[in-house]
Structure formats: C-alpha cells, structure tokens
Amino acid sequence: MVPQNIAIVGAGLAGMACAKSLEAHGARVRLFEKSRRPGGRLATRRVEVEGVTHAFDHGAQYLTARGAHFAAVLDVTRAMPWPDDSRKVGRPNMATIGRGLADGLDIAVNRQVVEITGSPGAWMLRHHDGTLITPGAPLPEGPPEEDGPFDAIALTVPSPQAVPLLAGPAPHLAHVLEGVVMAPCWTVMLAFPTRIPLPDTLRLTGGPIAWAARDSSKPGRVAEQENWVVQASADWSRDHLERRPAEVAQLLHDALEKLVGQPLPPTLVKLAHRWRYALVEKPLGAPCLWDPTLGLGAGGDWAIDARAEAAVDSGIALAAAIRRA
Ligand SMILES: Cc1cc2nc3c(=O)[nH]c(=O)nc-3n(C[C@H](O)[C@H](O)[C@H](O)COP(=O)(O)OP(=O)(O)OC[C@H]3O[C@@H](n4cnc5c(N)ncnc54)[C@H](O)[C@@H]3O)c2cc1C
C-alpha cells in the first residue's frame, strides 16, 4: 500500500522538500518542528540594541545550486547573488527561504518529537512543547501529546537526533545512521558601531576561525550596520564544545581582532550560538534511508553532502522512496 497519511519530523529544507513532493502526488502530510519557525539551519537571529534591530544569518551563509531542483527553490524564493554570481542568499535574510518553502504546508511548530510508538501502518508520534525542553535535561513533567495514526513517518532531523527516535521501532535503521558523522560549529555574531578593515568574506584554515563574513554586506540588509558572523573550525568547535557561550564569543572576537591587527571597536552585539550538528563530515552515501515494510525512514543533508542543496535532494529522494512503497 502506498502511504497516504504521512508525518515528517523536522521542517528544515529536507522535510519541507519531502512534504511538497509527497503532497504533489496526493498524499496528506503533517510536519512536526521543535523550533518556533520552520527552516532549520537556514536561520537568522535578530538582536535588539537600544531599539535598533541587528540581524545575523548564523546558520548557512550562502547557497549554491548544481541541480535544477535547488535552482528552482532559489528562484522561487528570490535568492540574490552574494558575494559573487555563483552563490546566493535569501533577502532580506536567510530565514526567508525556509519561510517561503513553508507556505501552504501543515507544520506543527514548537513540537519536539520524543518517541515513535505503534506499529506498521499505524504509527504514533509523541511530542512535547519544544520551548520547554533543554538538551540533556529531563523531559518536561506531564504526559506528551500524541498524534496519529500515520501510515508512514519520515525523519528529516540531523542524523544523531534521528538515532534515538528510530532505536525502538527500527533499530537496524538507527544502526546504519550511527555511521554518519556531523561536525559542530560555534558561531559568533558581532556588531560594531564602525567599519572594521577586513574584506566582506574570509575563509581561513589552521586557526580557530574557518569563515568570517560581513553579514551586513549581503543584499537587502541594513548596509549602515557593521554586522559580522564568525564561524569556528570543526576542530576548534569540538575542542570548545562545552565552553560557556560568553567565553566562546570572547575567544572568537579576539581571534578576529588578531586578523585585523588592531583593537576592534567596542561591540554592540557579541553572542555565540552552538550548532551541535552543523556540517556533515561523513555522509550516509545514499540519498536517503527508507524501510518500505515498516513505513519508516530518514533523510537530510547528512545523507549526501554538507550543503543545503543536498538536504533538498535527499528530501525529494525520500518522497520518491515513500511513494514507491
Ligand atoms: C553554521 C552553519 C553554516 C552552514 N553554511 C552553509 C553554507 O554556507 N552553504 C550551504 O549550502 N549549507 C550550509 N550549511 C548547511 C545547511 O544549513 C544544511 O545543509 C541544511 O540547512 C540542512 O537542512 P536539513 O533539512 O537537512 O536539516 P535542518 O535544517 O537541520 O532541519 C532539521 C529540522 O528538524 C528539527 N528537529 C530536530 N529534532 C527534532 C525533533 N525531535 N522534533 C521535531 N523537530 C526536530 C530542527 O529544529 C530543524 O528545523 C551550514 C550549516 C550551519 C549550521
């Protein structure tokens, strides 16, 4: 039987691409997303300073399309070239791209899925209010909410977060996913009152900083602002994974200062965000994972490559695998 009533866990690019493809073929799809908004790692943080908003794309920096599907996504969401014609960014921010894709989809936000129960053909999802869950802490008191039954469930969350959800109902899939490796990335957002003497983008090797960019130089941003996004290398992020965000913000600020070679102006914003699962280091090596007998599977960038386009390609491949069932 081809599944008709499908749940997708995670409303990033992969989940939304999967949902759109399934819906185009007549399936009924509901997405569950733990954050307040869809989009996943295509993310923008807004910070108010004395009544002025500073925005930072603190996840994916720019997008490149090698295939027709993702080129169409970038066209539909009106992404603009930056810093050159081969790369594109959302306008006025990266989160716009996720929001554009979410249009028309049934997405339950603030719902963090904690368990899959039931049996093939009648799967149930248990979920809590995502805003009440702290990683590593006990789950909130009170019973989870439950949704279902679903003919099939697709997980489009980072692979390490799919493993515990699949461990009960599909241990063989969880086992395969354990082979995927994702690297963390500490990201620091800095705003200065005056311009600092660096080019708009820097890609570096061998030190704490892997990438730094003048976020405010992207099209559609407030050009008068001097907003920077600084990403640490995977090795540095691993070595400092459990450090306090304020310490990490200072360390990467100081590393940027060293690059400038002179004292930086005082900061208006100095914040760190830890992406525990940022970029794929060892992908699955197949477009997605699907067990047609169970009606369970998973997809995401981690299946193919450390690029946003891979997430869309994996989501579409997952939808095709579900339909073939
Ligand atoms: C710092 C950084 C820089 C990057 N730079 C680039 C770049 O320049 N170019 C590029 O192409 N790519 C870049 N990427 C990678 C790109 O962002 C990803 O490849 C892409 O966004 C992954 O999409 P996805 O749908 O597979 O996963 P995600 O975007 O991670 O979506 C998964 C979703 O699942 C949700 N979720 C997780 N667990 C649960 C749960 N239990 N219940 C409910 N929801 C859940 C999450 O909140 C999230 O919204 C970068 C990523 C990071 C973090």
Q: Are residues 119 and 13 in the same domain?
A: yes
Does 287 reside within a domain?
A: yes
Q: Whose CA is nearest to atom 50 of ligand 1?
A: 60
Q: Rounded to the nearest whole angstrom, what is the distance from the C-alpha of residue 59 to the centroid of ligand 1?
A: 8
Give the model's pLDDT for residue 141. 79
Q: Are residues 123 and 24 in the same domain?
A: yes
Phi then psi dihedrals of residue 275, to 5 deg: -95, 105
Q: Whose CA is nearest to atom 18 of ligand 1?
A: 308
Give the model's pLDDT for residue 136. 75
Give the model's pLDDT for residue 52. 97
Distance CA 35, CA 102 (A): 14
Q: Are residues 130 and 13 in the same domain?
A: yes
Residue type, 294: L
Which of the residues in the chain have pLDDT under 50? none
Which H or E run contains 24?
helix 13-24
Q: What is the dihedral of CA 178, 62, 55, 267, to 10 degrees?
A: 90
Q: Are residues 156 and 125 in the same domain?
A: yes
SS3 27: coil
Does 13 reside within a domain?
A: yes
Q: Are residues 190 and 270 in the same domain?
A: yes
CB neighbourhood size of 55 (10 A): 22
Q: Are residues 145 and 18 in the same domain?
A: yes
Share above pLDDT 90 across residues of the chain, in percent, rounded to a whole number: 94
Q: Are residues 156 and 145 in the same domain?
A: yes
Find out whether 253 and 270 touch, Cβ atoms under 8 Å.
Answer: yes
Q: Rounded to the nearest whole angstrom, what is the distance from the C-alpha of residue 14 to the centroid of ligand 1?
A: 9
41, 82, 115: residue to mutate for ligand 1 pocket, most atoms within 8 A of CB: 41
Number of domains in the chain: 2
Q: Are residues 173 and 207 in the same domain?
A: no
Per DSSP bridges, beta strands 296-298 and 152-155 are parallel
End-to-end C-alpha distance for the chain, whole angstroms: 7
Nearest to 55 by CA among 262, 197, 268, 298: 268
- CATH number for 318: 3.50.50.60
The tokens describing 143, both together, are 């019973």
Q: CA 319 → CA 155, 217, 262, distances in Å?
A: 11, 37, 52
The tokens describing 210, both together, are 């892997």
Domain that holds residue 309: 5-38+105-180+283-324
